[in-house]
Structure 1
Amino acid sequence: MKYDPEEFRNHWLKEKLPGYPSSPGCYLMRDAHQKVFYVGKAKDLRNRLRSYFTGGDPRFFVGCLVALLDNIEVIQVRSEKEALLLEKKLVRDLQPQFNILLKDDKDFIRLRIKKPKASDRLRQQYPRLEVVRKVEKDDSLYFGPFVSAGAARSTLRTINKYFQLRTCKDQVLENRSRPCLQYQIGRCPAPCVQPIKDYPKYIKQVELFLKGRLPELLEELNQNMWNASQREDYEAAARIRDQIKAIETNLEEQLVADENNQEDMDVIGTARGGAQLEIVRMAYRKGWLSGQSHYSFSRQAFPTEELLASVLAQVYEATDHQERALTVITDCNLGDDQWILENALAANTDAKKTKILHVHRGNKKKLVEIANQNAKTRLERHLRSKETHEQALVRLQKRLHLKQLPVHIECFDVSLFQGSTPVVSQVVFKNGKPDKSCYRQYNIKSVEGTDDYAMLAEAIGRRLKRGVANDNLPDLILVDGGKGQLHAAIKELKKTEALNHVPHPPMMAAIAKARDLGEERRGYAGQKNKHSESRSPERIFLPNAKDPIALRPHTSERFLVERIRDEAHRFAIQAHRRRRKKKTLASALDGIPGVGPKTKQNMLLHFGSAKNIKKASAAELQQVKGVGKELASTIYAHFHASTNATA
């Protein structure tokens, strides 16, 4: 049954809402097909649902409800905490369209360093700082989570440069006989060849740096520099001086939160533009801004306050309670969710209760305004980027004379080496941006030799058949190559009979790279010789067109097409190398009696490569877990049979 917005609200307020309970619980919003598109929680279910239908609420999501909502199912629980836990489970199980679901805990990037232990193994005496995605239940120190992998690796590079921790892998550490280049340039104390009694102190300094306790760290380093100069160890004093300068530079880029307030707090900023939501979390530790995280969400039709509460619950659940701020500041009124969050975060920990403050004025309000401005800047950048993508698609449609806007573009590329392990890559761009969840790799099954055209045809044929079956066809298919590749793709398109019943079958085009025109600097595509360049422009070949279309340099459509082509090329090479590596390892270790997948893995972990396994003696092979004397002799004989026969 269809309603206009006013009738829709009245229908729910007068006829349906009175029948809902006032107890805590979760609610599931379903569409006409009974698919859940949103899950929420509430301290009072009836009051929360009423807030969606009151006439004074002009927010964006109300209009979406008119178009989507068919009915609301509720699940009652005993407490607000149970409602929070149930909401989390329902969102992960059902994955509704409009719920915010952050990455699973295993996907958050963290930095980890193990605590040094007295041991015969150097790796345990001198642990290194490394990037991990999973928190183990051990006595290691974990820092994060970092939402951006780039931010985590940038921090790691800074620490490796200035804090005297080893950077080499465990196998390298325990097998070196002399220091590496890092020691020569003063970035590593070389624990591989000499004992380092100050290594635990270096780890403590890294801990202070990553926890944002920079003034405390600077005080310690200044004292160390003074002590080194008093000992006339000027080289060490100079190294510490450079370390101090790097940290002071970091401090100069940060803001002072409040000179009189040294508490740890997170300041939350938000910016909303229609269905686009940007959230920024600025972490202040001991009065200094120690870091910033951002969360970007599209197609969000529900109130900012609800979405923010969902984000905070997931972020702080993934953060160790020792690393959490004691105060979270925002200008969003979270309502009942504030009390639920505070109690849920304090449960099962001995830490102080986290407070969520809704601020209106004062110094804390100024900090929120800074965070909001950061969020607004990110929102404007996103909207500009979206507009740029749309313009590129419109220009590409016009340039290639396409019947419809190429919102969904797929590109195919072939990668092989001397005819072996051929792979065809398929990359997908939607609205001008890569959608990596739809990338595919086609291992060629029916083609022998180096027939690129046939390989491309097989992959495109498989893709078209799957697309027709799943009603998921692209608007434009690009192939990397020239007329030959395009004709192979068109031939496969015509062979797919099911496409005859598709209203808008995919358009086909081939993209050829710019080519060197030689010293003559010949004109191309109507350009005069005196103005021509030594390389031709990028060319697009279209069906039933004799001459290619030349894309002018420095245009948005050319940039988009080049980006798609280069991404297909990168993905094809990556997939091909993966197949070749797997085949190489399999051929080197397969065929040895008694060696299964687990033993192969243990040997590779122990020796690092198949080449080192071949060089190992029988006694060295016995050191591998699961390899006894008899099996070690068998493995050694396998790799040295030809040598023994020659001898």
Structure 2
Amino acid sequence: MKEKSLMNLDSQQKTGMSSRLKYLREKLSQIPHKPGVYLHKNEFGEILYVGKAKDLVNRLKSYFYGIENHSPKTKALVLKIYDFEIIITENEYESLLLENNLIKHNKPNYNILLRDDKTYPYIKIDIQEEWPKVTVVRKRKKDGSLYFGPYTLTGQVIQLMNLINRFFPLVKCTPTVFKTVTRPCNYYDIKKCLGPCKLTVDKKEYESHLNNVIAILNGKSKDILTKIKKEMLLSADALNFEKAAMLRDQLKAVSQLTENQSVTLSEEIDIDILGSYWSKDIAAFYVAQIRSGKVIGGDSYIIRHITEEPSEDGKYDNTQDEMQRIYSAFVCQYYSQKNVPENIIFSNAENVINSENFLMIEKYLNEKFGKNENNSKKILHLNKNIFTKSLKSKDKILPKKIENLVLHANKNAENKYSEHIKMEEVSNNLLMALKEFLKLSTIPLIIECFDISTFQGSETVASQVVFKNGKPSKSSYRKYIIKSVIGQDDFASLREVIRRRFKDRNNIQIPNVLLIDGGTPQIREVGWMLKGLGLEHINFLGLAKSRNEKNFKSAIVTASEERIVIPARGVNGELLPDVPPETRILQQGSAEFKLLTQIRDEAHRFAITFHRQRRDKNSLKSILYEIKGLGAKRKKKLLETYPNLKDIIHLNLKEISDTTKIPLNVIQQIVEKLKS
């Protein structure tokens, strides 16, 4: 159903909406006046929106009565509500926790979500290993390891890892290499590893270096400087000059890291400062992180408030309530995946969050921090003036520094907002240009593109990339392994992908534009497939690549222009696959050229990457089938011992044979094959 105001619905829609409201109001009459959570659902039973309420009846009544007074955003949501569910809780605080969990699990389109396509790096230490090492990972798992981050600034991770790898002699090799090497590697020779793989190493010495690294990652640089200096002097007194020199280098590196911090406070305090910037449709947040009195980084987020909760008291302007809802949702979602520091300053919170909600959020964060009401030391969620007074510091400049940090956080939030608006403007210009070029009735907010990748008919795969609002939506990307096609047949592969993508046509999101990497033949095939599926209303087109002209006598390399291929349609919009499609030239450098070629190239990159991964994986496996004397059991044992088969090229063959119980001559055959 199209999003319209209720006043503009045709008679059939009015009848449908009227009967739906009658059903929802009857259902509403049966629920109790209790706190809880409500879940709005669409016609397919999918959750549209999750909200909490102090009184479920009053909150839900505000949706289904007085609709003519709703804001356009609320009307757009109500038009899609076909049903709702409620979950009753003991109190409003429990409803806050439940709402947060349900939003995180279901990710409804109309809720405020801290969405981010980027995966920021973490620094991981697996303390369950006998000799733990420090690595950089992109995903945080519940595996008992220590994780630090995520680091939004890549340079910060590089700086920390360079310091750790260069000055702290911890293990750096993979578990497989660690178990199978015959001698310590080059890292031992250059004094960057103690060599526990083959040498007897003092466990306490290794743990001391590891604990220093953990303290640095926790921002406790000052304590570590004192500790390292003491150890260095003791080593020098004991005439252990080699160790003293290593500690001296560590001391110098950590000191330099500490000096590089942009702001240092006189008090060793842990604070998060929440800055914000607001507009009618967008809220920008910036969280400045201070640990042990030093600024160590910050996170920025953009939140679109695409819906509004109607006011329970009939007010039309409920801006203050909306700001409070967004601020509360942001705080709860942000700290559901972050460590809560001892102190948090809500910049301008007293102007946004009322005392009742403030206490609920404070309770939530205290529980996340691991403190209860009986503890004397509690997290502070205060404005900057109350916070600085609570420190009782002798440093008279400290309040001014805190105030500057608050201004800095708010300014960063404003900068994030401005950056987002500029990017949105660029994307909107591209989309508007494409709309005009293709003569579409609406702006193409969702564009999907498909590409086929194969090599002589083997390992044929397809990619599906999705651009939303002119930007890649990587969480929506899909990979397809072509199953029904034997040999090289791009047309049959394309038919299979389109059939699989749109097989459940009643329960899928239809893109505004479907882009195919190809020309007239591909467009004809897709046209027949969509017509057969009953989806001929979908806007689709082909993008034919430019081709170099084969004229070897000419000193100038000339190429044809990029062009789009648009299927022929009848008077009523029906597809005519038999009729030659229309071809239009894409002017190089134009907005539509930039957008369409970017989407096509991304689909090509994604398909090629997936194809190479499958081909490389199967190539390694196929090598094993060619080796005489390597049966199923030996093959299984080899792959279990060395998951990355290429590792064995650099290992001692005799040790591989002893470990796997595979004859030495067979191991030699495998290595020779791998090298070739």
Q: What's the TM-score, normalizing by structure 2?
A: 0.70
1:437 and 2:437 correspond: no
Matched, 1:458 2:495: yes
* Contact 2:482–2:496 under 8 Å retained in 1: yes
2:177 to 158, 172, 177: 172
Map of 1:331 onto structure 2 = 348
Counterpart check, 1:275 vs 2:285: no
Q: Deviations over 1:398-451 (max 9, x none)?
A: 556667644333333332233311112222222211223332333334444344
Find the aligned partners of 1:442 and 1:315 in 2 and give their Cα distance.
34
Closer/same/farther in 2, CA of residues 467 and 165 from structure 1, 3 Å limit: same
Among 125, 131, 139, the alignment partner of 1:133 is 139
Name the TM-score, length of structure 1 as normaliser.
0.73
Superposed, which structure 2 residues align to 1:486-505 within 5 Å? 486-494=520-528, 496-498=530-532, 502-503=536-537, 505=539
Deviation of 1:396 after TM superposition, in Å, equals 3.9
Aligned to 1:570: 605
2:463 to 425, 443, 451: 425
For the 8 Å contact 2:37–2:87, the answer to whether it is kept is: yes
Unpaired runs of at least 5, structure 2: 9-25, 309-321, 389-398, 567-579
Distance 2:90 2:39 in 1: 18
Cα distance in structure 2, aligned partners of 1:141 and 1:42: 37
Q: 1:99 aligns with which of 98, 111, 119?
A: 111
Identity of matched residues, %: 27
**Which residue is 1:212 aligned to?**
219
1:304 correspondence with 2:304? no
Query: Partners in 1 of 2:662 and 2:296 — Cα distance?
Result: 57
Q: 2:183 & 2:663 partners in 1: Cα distance?
A: 34
Is the CA contact (8 Å cut-off) linking 1:467 and 1:473 kept in structure 2?
A: no
Deviations 1:192-239 (A, max 9, x none): 455555432322222222112233334455667778899776964774
Match among 160, 164, 176 for residue 159 of structure 1: 164
1:529-581 deviation line (CA, Å, top 9, x unaligned) = xxxxx57486224356898735435x544443343233212211222133224
Query: 8 Å contact 2:515–2:540 — kept in the other structure?
Result: no
Structure 2: how far apart are the matches of 1:305 and 1:514? 59
Within 2, Cα distance between the matches of 1:449 and 1:66?
51
Q: Cα offset for 1:343?
A: 2.7
CA distance in 1, matches of 2:534, 2:38: 44
Q: Is the Cα contact below 8 Å between 1:617 and 1:636 reproduced in 2?
A: no
Which of 638, 641, 645 aligns to 1:606? It is 641
Q: Is the 8 A contact 2:546 2:560 kept in 1?
A: no
Q: Could you report, residue by residue, the CA deviation over 1:612-642 in whole angstroms, capped at 9, with x for unpaired residues?
A: 7899999967857xxxxxxx6799989989x
Checking the alignment, whether the CA contact within 8 Å between 2:103 and 2:111 is kept in structure 1 is: yes
Q: Is the 8 A contact 2:225 2:255 kept in 1?
A: no
Partner deviation per Cα, 1:261-318 (whole Å, 9 max, x = no partner) = 4321211122233333332222211221122123333354342332332333344343
Letter in 2 for 1:247: L
Q: Return closer, same or farther for 1:38/1:367 CA change in 2, 3 Å cut-off.
A: farther
Q: Quick check: 1:273–1:379 contact (8 Å CA) kept in 2?
A: no
- Whether the 8 Å contact between 2:53 and 2:59 is mirrored in structure 1 is yes
Larger CA deviation: 95-104 vs 557-566: 95-104
Change (3 A) 1:620 1:511: closer
Distance change (3 Å), C-alpha of 1:490 and 1:411: same
What residue ranges of structure 1 are gaps of 5+ in the alignment?
5-14, 117-122, 523-533, 625-631
Paired letter, 2:279: G
Which whole-Å deviations, capped at 9, do the CAs of 1:501-542 have from their partners, x for residues lacking one?
7445423332337789879453xxxxxxxxxxx574862243
Q: Which amino acid aligns with 2:37?
A: C
- 1 CA distance for matches of 2:324 and 2:160? 32
| Conserved? CA contact 2:276–2:410, under 8 Å | yes
Q: Which residue of 1 aligns with 2:257?
A: 247
One-letter amino acid of the structure 1 residue matched with residue 146 of structure 2: L
User: What value does the CA root-mean-square deviation take over the aligned residues?
Assistant: 5.0
Superposition map of 1:58-77 within 5 A = 75-77=87-89
Partner of 2:542: 508
How is 1:446-485 mapped onto 2 (pairs within 5 angstroms)?
A: 446-451=484-489, 453-455=490-492, 457-459=494-496, 461-462=498-499, 465-466=502-503, 472-480=509-517, 485=519
Give the whole-Å Cα distance in 2 for the aligned partners of 1:115 and 1:501: 55
Question: Shift of the alpha carbon at 1:125?
Answer: 3.1
Q: Tell me, in whole angstroms, the C-alpha distance in 2 between the residues paired with 1:519 and 1:305.
A: 71
Letter in 2 for 1:174: K
* Equivalent residue runs for 1:219-234 within 5 Å: 219-220=226-227
- Residue 176 of structure 1 deviates from its aligned partner by 3.1
Write the distance in 2 (CA, Å) between the matches of 1:605 and 1:153.
Answer: 33
Counterpart of 2:346, as a letter, is: I
Match of 1:549 in 2: 585
Structure 1 residues 222 and 622: CA distance shift in structure 2, 3 A: closer
How many residues are treated as equivalent by the alignment?
A: 592
Pairs within 5 Å for 1:624-643: none
Q: For 1:80 and 1:403, how far apart are their aligned partners in 2?
A: 45
Report the CA distance shift for 1:346/1:518 in structure 2 as closer, same or farther (over 3 A): farther
The one-letter amino acid of 1:385's match is: M
Choose 188-197 or 206-215, whichever is displaced more. Answer: 188-197
Q: 1:594 deviation in Å?
A: 6.9
CA distance in 2, matches of 1:33, 1:443: 29
Structure 2 distance, partners of 1:565, 1:158, is: 41
Pick from 79, 88, 95: which aligns with 2:91? 79
Partner of 2:100: 88
Counterpart for residue 207 of structure 2: 200
Contact 2:122 2:147 in 1 (8 A): yes
Q: What amino acid is aligned across from residue 417 of structure 2 in structure 1? A: L
* Distance in 2 between residues matched to 1:194 and 1:337, nearest whole Å: 59
Q: 1:98 to 1:133 in 2, by over 3 A?
A: same
The whole-number CA distance in structure 1 between the counterparts of 2:224 and 2:591 is: 48
**Greater relative CO, 1 or 2 (CA 8 Å, sep 6+):** 2
Question: Does the 8 Å contact 2:435/2:444 carry over to 1?
Answer: yes
Check conservation: 2:49, 2:110, Cα contact below 8 A. Answer: yes
Amino acid at match of 2:103: V
* Residues 22-58 of structure 1, C-alpha deviations (whole Å, 9 max, x = no match): 7543344567988653323355667878999999x99
How far the C-alpha of 1:388 sits from its partner, in A, is 0.6
The residue type equivalent to 1:304 in the other structure is M
Q: 1:355 to 1:635 in 2, by over 3 A?
A: farther
8 Å Cα contact 2:485/2:493 also seen in 1: no
Q: Is structure 2 residue 431 aligned with structure 1 residue 393? A: yes
Q: 1:465 to 1:388 in 2, by over 3 A?
A: same
